Amino acid sequence: MDLGLQEKVIIVTGGAKGIGEAISKLVAAEGGIVVIAGRSTADNEKTVSDIIAAGGKALAVTAELGLVDDCRKVITETVAKYGKIDGLVNNAGANDGVGLENGSPERFMQSLQNNLSHYYNLAHFALPYLKATKGNIVNIGSKVATTGQGNTSGYAASKGAINALTREWAVEMLPYSIRINTVIPAEVWTPLYETWINSLPNPQEKLASITAKIPFERRMTTSAEIANTTVFLLSPRSSHTTGQIVYVDGGYTHLDRSIS
């Protein structure tokens, strides 16, 4: 299926690793132009090099997304290079373990700054250009906003807010034909997840206990599966889909995990 993304300029935050990398590479494979924004220059440039080597088009922008000025920089550098923005994928963030008991008001606010503020800031600064192209936004959320997890108040609050903003923005952007949707992963096999599993005393035992709770095929979701849905939502093929919270999680969030 041709997704109609040829020469579309798509910004992907955290687009150099894990889920973000899979999204970036799929956008490029579909003929889009990817702008990868994140704090690691080396990681950004490596993924850009991989995309270019595969015949795609990409640009790296080093940015600390928790800073307002760096969010503005992502937009201005994109427009300076390409003259337009067709889509924004808000993906960057980290489950930083700032809980109610083990956290503090200062750490909680910092977690919101790191995990939530750039979703708003980038959308705000990109808005004039998205209006011009009738572009769209796909937010990457987390099942934690629905299920809770424990000891991660800042991250959970940020992801819950992202779900709310998706529907709020979808309403506000109706006059401009700008679509806003969110993709919700649950347990996704990424390099970061693999590092975490391998840091545990019995990694294979822990992994087996997690996958046993995933109803569909008792396996982790892949980054490619998250990317497939995200890029479809970015594309004109999903032209009448907006304000949706789409779970790509093998049924983890909503199906009864006692099913065998």
Structure confidence by residue, pLDDT tens digits, 219-240: 999 999 999 999 999 999 999 9
98: burial class by Cβ within 10 Å (0-12, 13-18, 19+)? buried
CB atoms inside a 10 Å sphere around CB 239: 12
Rounded to whole angstroms, the Cα distance separating 177 from 134 reads 6
The residue annotated as part of the active site, out of 155, 176, 247, 252, is: 155
Alpha carbons within 13 angstroms on the beta-carbon side of residue 246 total 23
Tell me the pLDDT tens digit for each residue of 176-206.
999 999 999 999 999 888 998 999 899 999 9
Kindly tell me if the per-residue pLDDT of 257 is higher than 90: no
What pLDDT does 174 receive? 98
Q: Is the pLDDT of residue 132 over 70?
A: yes
pLDDT digits (tens, 9 = 90+) for 73-87: 999 999 999 999 999
DSSP label at residue 187: S
Residue 41 Cα distances to 24, 59, 90, 243, angstroms: 16, 11, 18, 33
For the full predicted model, state whether its pTM sits above 0.85. Answer: yes
In this predicted structure, what is the pLDDT of residue 260?
Answer: 60
pLDDT at 81: 98
Torsion angle (degrees, nearest 10) of CA 147, 188, 239, 25:
150
Which residue type sits at 211? T
Question: What's the rounded Cα separation, in Å, for the pair 51 and 59?
Answer: 10
At residue 26 the predicted structure's pLDDT band, cuts being 50, 70 and 90, is very high
The answer, yes or no, to whether residue 168 has pLDDT greater than 80, is yes
Nearest to 187 by CA among 251, 238, 131, 139: 251
Contacts (Cβ under 8 Å, ≥6 apart) of 2 = none
Structure confidence by residue, pLDDT tens digits, 41-54: 999 999 999 999 99
pLDDT attached to residue 99: 97
Beta strands in 14-163 (DSSP E): 33-38, 57-62, 87-90, 136-140
Tell me, what's the pLDDT at 192? 83
**What residue spans define the domains of the chain?**
9-187+223-247
Q: How many CB atoms lie within 10 A of CB 212?
A: 10
Is domain 9-187+223-247 annotated with CATH 3.40.50.720? yes
pLDDT of residue 258: 76
* Residue-averaged pLDDT of the chain: 96
Confidence (pLDDT) at 1: 82
Known catalytic residue: 176?
no
